[in-house]
Amino acid sequence: MKYKFNFIDKNQGSIKDDVLSGLTVALALVPEAVAFAFVAGVSPIIGLYGAFMMGLVTAVLGGRPGMISGATGATAVVMVSLIAKGNEMGAPGDNMGLQYLFATLLLVGVLQMTAGFLRLGKFIRMVPASVMMGFVNGLAIVIFLSQLNMFKIGGEWMAGSQMWTMLGLVALTMLIMYLLPKVSKAIPAALVGILVVSAIVIFGGIDTQTVKSFIQAGGGTGIKAGLPTFNIPVIPMTFDTLKFIFPYAVILASVGLIESLMTLNLVDELTETRGSGNRECAAQGAANFVNGLFGGMGGCAMIGQSIINIKSGGRNRLSGIVAAVCLLAFILFASTYIEMIPIAALVGVMFMVVIGTFAWNTFRLMDKIPLADLIVIILVTVLTVIFDLAIAVFAGVVVSALVFAWENAVRIRANESVDEHGIKHYKVVGPLFFASTTAFNQKFNVQDDPEEVIIDFKESRIMDQSAIEAINKVAERYQKEGKNIHLRHLSRDCTRLIRKAEKICDVNIVEDPNYFVAIDHYKKLTGPNAVS
């Protein structure tokens, strides 16, 4: 099932495209990093440092060129409780919550790098298409809802001319991004939209929310600062400290990897290329570890900024490196100018990301896909909005797995026949595994069957230990009636499974030395061709 992102140009990119798209992403990162810093309860500069370090390390080491990482809402909401409880564990004014956050990021880095080294990134392949579609739809809604906060000042909605001005500038940005690619793709439309709207606001003296006023409204003073400095977290090195930070580290590592791998999967779809999930896991871990040592808030892959980058032509590692370096340059040298950018221009860019992210073909497919898949799409979408991505994806995968198991469980059947020698044959059709064992056991009429019974697995397969136990139970039932049971046409790996579980396999080398297998659990096989 492909997702149709018609505004994505599937080219290989160029140095010019990477540089311009990186600059565009850097501009879009500023309010996002600041907003998520406010959510987590830390200084805006810590959020910006986190975005810079996450972006740079993953751009250099990551498994998906063109993907952007930074401070994210998914990780920020987990940090709120960590920082609050950490502050309570220290003296007033010590700001111990921040130190515990940095220590937790070190542990997050270790866990994520371990996941990469153990090659756990491959499990992203187990995410069904319905879960992926629910994920992009839910994330599009989350991005949209997050932008609505930009229409508030001091927690109150804008009104009157302020609101109309904001809406007009947002619409103008979106219009530029829609029309410019039809004329020329030489410069990223998002960058042009930001520059044009900024120029109109600055030179036209229009009174509207800017990056500076947005930061000040949240209690910050600005984005100007120096370089991040090396600093080992100052916390008690005790078992109680580990017991406190470890659960948060596991949650942050899990949420970060799930969001990063899902974003990687989506970017793979957009660019029709393939990244390395295991390498991305290791890179995310390295980036969070660096954040813990240099005072950033950490994070993971950002789907919104990744799509902006891809849409703007960024395809290579250079785009992510430029975005991170430009963000640092803003902090060091250009804070005055960046703070003048109207929030409306950045909101317009993100609204276009929402339009491009949402899988609109969901509505077209609603009456064409199985009901179970439609339920999974809706479930993942809703859970992504209400809770977070990790819970949504986990729930979607579990429901999809249960549906798959049930559908395969009900398909198993056993066709009965009696040959000219009076031997009863059961021809099993369908996979035999934990979900189908009950139905399997009910297929046999033990009391009325003759002395010799053959179960043919030519069109079936033994999948797991539960299947082996089911065979054992059938054998026990026939033994109690004094009857013999033989299993035939088991594949080599099925035979090995049974031999590992129970020493019950005998191979009839006369009739079929390569494939035919006769199994008598109780060593009661008879006939001239039987061997034990």
List per-residue pLDDT tens for the chain, 532 residues long. Answer: 444 444 455 566 689 999 999 999 999 899 888 888 888 888 899 999 999 999 999 999 999 999 999 998 878 888 988 999 999 988 877 789 999 999 999 999 999 999 999 998 888 778 888 998 898 898 889 888 888 888 988 788 999 999 999 999 999 999 999 999 899 888 888 999 999 999 999 999 999 999 998 888 877 778 899 999 999 999 998 999 999 999 999 989 988 998 899 899 889 988 888 899 999 999 999 999 999 999 999 999 998 899 999 988 998 999 999 999 999 999 999 999 999 999 999 999 889 988 988 889 889 888 888 999 999 999 999 998 888 777 888 899 999 999 988 888 888 889 999 988 888 999 999 888 999 998 998 999 999 999 888 888 888 888 888 888 888 888 888 888 888 888 887 766 666 666 554 444 333 333 443 333 333 333 344 444 443 3
Residue at a domain's end among 381, 401, 421:
401
CATH code: domain of residue 503: 3.30.750.24
Tokens 């751009």 belong to which residue? 59
Instruction: Answer whether residue 45 is part of any domain.
Output: yes
226 and 106 in a common domain: yes
| DSSP string for 396-448 | HHHHHHHHHHHHHHTT-EEEEEE-TTS-EEEEEEEEESTTTHHHHHTT--TTT
Q: Do residue 142 and residue 274 come from a single domain?
A: yes
* Residue 257 phi, psi (nearest 5): -70, -40
Question: Is residue 4 situated within a structural domain?
Answer: no
Q: Same domain, yes or no, for 441 and 380?
A: no
Q: CB-based contacts of 503: which residues, under 8 Å, 6+ apart? A: none
Can you tell me the distance from the alpha carbon of 63 to that of 122, in angstroms, rounded to the nearest whole number? 12
Q: Looking at this protein, which amino acid is placed at residue 134?
A: G
Per-residue CA distances from 111 to 76, 122, 251, 259 (Å): 18, 16, 10, 15
Nearest partner of 332 among 231, 213, 217, 228, judged by Cα? 228
The Cα 11–Cα 310 span in angstroms is 10
Residue 379: which domain range? 15-401
Residues 394, 433, single domain; the answer is no
Q: What is the rounded CA–CA span in Å between residue 79 and residue 427?
A: 58
Residue 10 located in a structural domain:
no
Q: What is the pTM of this model?
A: 0.76
Q: Which helix (H) or strand (E) holds 152?
A: strand 152-153
Same domain for 311 and 419, yes or no, is: no
Instruction: Transcribe 333-401 into DSSP letters.
Output: T-HHHHTTSBHHHHHHHHHHHHHHHS-THHHHHTTTS-HHHHHHHHHHHHHHHHS-HHHHHHHHHHHHH
Residue 2 lies in a domain: no
The verdict on 417 and 355 lying in the same domain is no
> Do 214 and 246 share a domain, yes or no?
yes
Asked if residue 51 and residue 173 are part of one domain, the reply reads: yes
Q: Pick the last residue of a domain from 347, 372, 401.
A: 401
- Whether 450 is in a domain gets the answer yes
Regarding whether 333 and 202 lie in a shared domain, the answer is yes
How far from the centroid of its chain's Cα atoms is residue 335's Cα?
Answer: 34
In a domain, 525, yes or no: no
Whether 408 maps to a domain, the answer reads no
Which residues make beta-bridge pairs with 415? 427
Would you say residue 287 lies in a domain?
yes
Q: CB–CB of 281/116 below 8 Å? A: yes
Are 419 and 367 in a shared domain?
Answer: no
- Asked which of 371, 401, 431 is the last residue of a domain, the reply is 401
424 and 390, same structural domain? Answer: no
Domains: count for the chain: 2
Question: Residue type at 419?
Answer: D
Q: By the 8 A CB rule, do 503 and 525 touch?
A: no
Burial grade of 4 (CB within 10 A; 0-12, 13-18, 19 or more): exposed
Distance of alpha carbon 40 from alpha carbon 296, whole angstroms: 12
| Residues 360 and 485 grouped into a single domain | no
